[in-house]
Amino acid sequence: MFDGIMLGLSTVLDFNNLMYVIAGCLVGTFIGMLPGLGPITAIALMIPITYSIGADSGMILMAGVYYGAIFGGSTSSILINAPGVAGTVASSFDGYPLAKQGHAGKALAIAAYSSFIGGTIGAILLMVAAPLLAKVSLSFQSPDYVVLMFLGLTAIAAFSNKGQFLKAMMMTVFGLMLATVGIDPSSGTDRFTFGQPDLLDGISFLLVAMATFALAEALVNVVKPEKKDAKNINDSDTPQIGSTKLSKAEVKEIAPVIGRSSILGFIVGVLPGAGATIASFMAYATERNLAPKGLKEKFGKGSLRGLAAPESANNAACTGSFVPLLTLGIPGSGTTAIMLGALIAYGIQPGPMLMQENPSVFWAVIVSMYFGNIVLLILNLPLIPYFAKVLAMPKSVLTVMILFFSLIGVYLVSFNTFDLFMMVGFAVVALILRLLSFPMAPLLLGFILGDMIERNFRRSMMISDGSLSFLWDRPLTLSIFIISILVLLFPLKDYLMQRREDKANA
């Protein structure tokens, strides 16, 4: 492990890579602060740039963008009560009241320190957990991968918002179907191409990611503007930043909260499908339950604990979500799904062999997370007053710029205008689905995992002579399969409980 850390350090400390971390954090913060735009959009917009700088640097840049976007989301949550990312919604519960009371600087400082410590604890746990899990996963075979990917797909649907399970499942299936377009790599048969030669190579991952996230998010903000978008924010809405200093008593109060929430956040982040949003809400609820009676009532009215808990948990969860990606090659969230797609585009297959075949990528990602946290703390905190001005940027300019960068980003990779037409088509579909409250992350996960599922499924069926017995032949496969089924049945419990409540109320 020590050698790995040194390798990661030497990669990240390269001048160019260091610049990429800093640039990633700044750009991520900038985009994350804009209400309605999250880390997935930020990363999607960066992908075309990363194609020209190599895998190590590309992953470092994207990790920086990820962290920056989460931090930027916290800033808009605290300053204007408009979370840019779902993972920072819980931060607005106490962050915004604090800002309204004239403690915006203090709230932002708590967010920065909590994020830094949460991310650092997460990075340390990742350094320990990832190599261990990578070693264990070396014994994984094709059937294990099939059920693991099945678990990933069902988990992201099961953990989606209440009542959205079936919608998430439809989106997953839609993503899987899109992955079948093009020439089947095993037999050479072309599927769902309708005679269109541009579809023979399948649909580009970048195109789907950009259309469903960057383009669709920008268009949703036009068709259904948020009450507090950039156009509606005036100077009186953005509170004065004020002092960022914390007293000794305040530090003493939030220190154990940050420690507990970071560990909780990391564990939740490792679980496929859970991620930063669930981690931040869980940490918030846990701390409210643990708080002494007098402090419990302060939750929701500007509690320091109520801000520190979700902030440390969401950053630790972001780090935790890299564990399944780096060790098993299975993304647990929409953001890591985009990163998986980018890695595959570089010709790198994430999974247990990543640590051995591409150790510089593996360790550079881990070490860059730590550097990302440092950059956010020392660079972003003093820059917050300037970043806050971003919130007043005209929406008319911003939206069109996002559309332009998305279109030209895809064009610069394929140099094919057919992709641009297809992208606009996908954006229209994604826009309609978003307006009908369909989640987008399951679609992307299904699309990215579709090809891997098919390849491993074929291999498994060949090994078991065309029988589905591979699902129960090995205890490991069977265990993961049972967990997947339980996860699939998990929303049913909610549904039955809801029906019982409805009957009781009737």
Q: Which residues bind other proteins (CB under 8 A)?
A: 52, 166-167, 169-170, 173-174, 176-177, 180, 184, 186-189, 191-192, 219, 222-225, 394-397, 399-401, 403-404, 407-408, 411-412, 415, 417, 420-421, 424, 427-428, 431-433, 435-438, 453-454, 457-458, 461-462, 466, 495, 502
Of residues 253 and 454, the one with the C-beta less far from other proteins: 454
**Is residue 137 within 8 Å of residue 327, measured between CB atoms?**
yes
Question: What amino acid is encoded at 149 in this protein?
Answer: M
Of residues 101 and 180, the one with the C-beta less far from other proteins: 180
Of residues 5 and 461, the one with the C-beta less far from other proteins: 461
CA distances from 327 to 139, 171, 323 (A): 12, 26, 6
Both tokens assigned to 161: 């918002």
Of residues 200 and 397, the one with the C-beta less far from other proteins: 397
Give the shortest CB-437-to-other proteins separation in angstroms: 8
How open is the CA angle 273-275-277, to the nearest 5 degrees? Answer: 120
- Distance between CA atoms of 341 and 143, rounded to whole angstroms? 22
**CB-based contacts of 450: which residues, under 8 Å, 6+ apart?**
175, 176, 177, 178, 179, 180
Instruction: Give, as one character, the DSSP assignment of residue 232.
Output: G
- What's CA 137's distance to the chain center, in Å? 23
**Is residue 200 within 8 Å of residue 190, measured between CB atoms?**
yes
Of residues 14 and 184, the one with the C-beta less far from other proteins: 184
- Name the residue among 44, 65, 132, 77 with its Cα closest to residue 341: 44
Give the shortest CB-318-to-other proteins separation in angstroms: 30
Location of structure tokens 């093009």 = 182
Of residues 139 and 498, the one with the C-beta less far from other proteins: 498
Give the shortest CB-374-to-other proteins separation in angstroms: 29
- Distance between CA atoms of 48 and 3, rounded to whole angstroms? 32
Give the shortest CB-319-to-other proteins separation in angstroms: 32
**Is residue 315 within 8 Å of residue 354, measured between CB atoms?**
no
Give the shortest CB-467-to-other proteins separation in angstroms: 8
Both tokens assigned to 478: 């069977």
How open is the CA angle 157-159-164, to the nearest 5 degrees? Answer: 60
Of residues 284 and 438, the one with the C-beta less far from other proteins: 438
CA distances from 81 to 99, 381, 383 (A): 9, 19, 19
Both tokens assigned to 268: 């939740």
Instruction: Give, as one character, the DSSP assignment of residue 185.
Output: T
Give the shortest CB-396-to-other proteins separation in angstroms: 4
Give the shortest CB-121-to-other proteins separation in angstroms: 38
Of residues 381 and 390, the one with the C-beta less far from other proteins: 390
Of residues 412 and 482, the one with the C-beta less far from other proteins: 412
Residues in the chain: 506
**Is residue 302 within 8 Å of residue 101, measured between CB atoms?**
yes
Give the shortest CB-414-to-other proteins separation in angstroms: 12
- Distance between CA atoms of 143 and 472, rounded to whole angstroms? 9
Both tokens assigned to 123: 């990075």
Of residues 37 and 78, the one with the C-beta less far from other proteins: 37
Of residues 472 and 495, the one with the C-beta less far from other proteins: 495
Give the shortest CB-364-to-other proteins separation in angstroms: 23
Of residues 132 and 495, the one with the C-beta less far from other proteins: 495
Of residues 174 and 490, the one with the C-beta less far from other proteins: 174
Give the shortest CB-214-to-other proteins separation in angstroms: 12
Give the shortest CB-412-to-other proteins separation in angstroms: 6
Half-sphere exposure of 38 (CA within 13 A, CB side): 20
Give the shortest CB-296-to-other proteins separation in angstroms: 32
Give the shortest CB-438-to-other proteins separation in angstroms: 6
* Beta partners for residue 190, in sequence order: 183
CA distances from 18 to 14, 283, 302, 335 (A): 6, 32, 36, 22
Task: Kindly give the residue spans of alpha helices, DSSP state H, lying in 85-229.
Answer: 89-98, 104-137, 142-158, 165-179, 205-209, 216-223
* Beta partners for residue 191, in sequence order: 182
Both tokens assigned to 134: 């990578």
3-state secondary structure of 329: coil
